[in-house]
Chain A
Amino acid sequence: MIVTKGLRKSFQPRRGAAAVDAVRGIDLNVAEGEIYGLLGPNGAGKTTTLRMLATLLAPDGGAATVAGADLRAEPSEVRRRIGYVAQGGGTTDQATAREELVLQARMYGVRKAEAVRRAEQGLAAFDLTEFGDRVCKTYSGGQRRRLDLALGVVHRPRVLFLDEPTVGLDPRSRSQVWAEVRRLREQGMTVLLTTHYLDEADALCDRIGIVDNGGIVTEGTPEELKQEISGDSVTIGLPGPEATTGAERALAELPCVQRLEALPGEDGLRLHVDSAATAIPQLLRTLAAVGIEPEHVQLQRPSLDDVFLALTGRALVHSG
């Protein structure tokens, strides 16, 4: 449904300044009816990729086919077949949701009576009927986001692009948006979304492409990606900051420890080891030798954050 080959884009921030290579050759192959997530930190080039595929930016190089239409040769055909929801949305404060939906449908060439009918359906489908005749200025973040989604699909596109669909939303609105996206997929829509939330990529996407520095580092289902990095994660809770530094020094020496880092916001360490079964006794022995008694030890499945860390050497959550 979406196939790209070597898609590239660089920006010249101002005359004479060095060019920023925002996207340096992205290859994608998104199947029909799939939710595909581009996961990466801020500035990775996710928005730029989406804007190119939505015909808002001309690529510097590479090729792409979106919903069967060639991006460069027939951009207006692409426009007809896709929906695009920008990160910041695009609603008018002084207009109502109903007015926005009717206008949006009509901009896609839908006749007036049909546009009115679709607006009504859109309001109902995205749980907006109650305040559909209030101006958008009065909406909460979640309501506004649901309207953005409704606007993106009012013309029944085959492919939907979502840029950071849940950024800045409270947990309840977030899961509501996730449910809407899943519902769209069930109707056969193909969704390409971007996110810098690991849990979102994990929970919502059928397949994930990890983006860093303008390129896709790896891709696969969330499960595949987690299996790709061998080894286990072990978390050790420690009684205080001193014990943590002491333990860090002692454990870093061990050959079975691949990486270790302090836990954010609490006293303790997170270690990446080849095999937890053999590593844990060694860890405990080493700690006992320096006189540190751990409060608890936990074995964890590797997370997407571990995948990102293993591939790029940086933690996703801190690199934004």
Chain B
Amino acid sequence: MQNECKCNCNTADDPRYVELKAYIDSVKGNEGIAMSVLQEAQTIFGYLPLEVQKFISQNIDVPLAELYGVSTFYSQFTLTPRGKHHIGICLGTACYVRGAQKLVDKFVAELKIAVGETTEDGLFTLDATRCLGCCGLAPVIMIDEDVYGKLDDVDAIPGILDKYRG
């Protein structure tokens, strides 16, 4: 199954599970913690494989079906691993009217993947995002933590990508 954990981990002494368990213990007893535990898990693991969701389900007494319902409802949760670098192209209104669609087309052509996909080498994941709050610099993209604004010239993109190819 595609959601199976690929890391051959042993939950007992995998430090990531230990970290997650510690977080769960710190919030246990509060109401409505499912979302925050999933968020923490995604920060720790990078994504939410089924194994991790099972682990959470057992530890916070929320049925797996319900957790799966939550993790598939919100767009920030991902059940598949992401690329090393995350490219977010802002498709907020301000960026859209300033030509963000051209940026999407260029990235799709350069990386040969569709929006929402990860390159085969696992280097880039391409996403369209909501307003990044930098409308004054529209059109805007974000690669990992770096924001690039005023990208009116799509020919600048290959150069930007090269910086992350290392």
Judge: A and B partners, yes or no: no
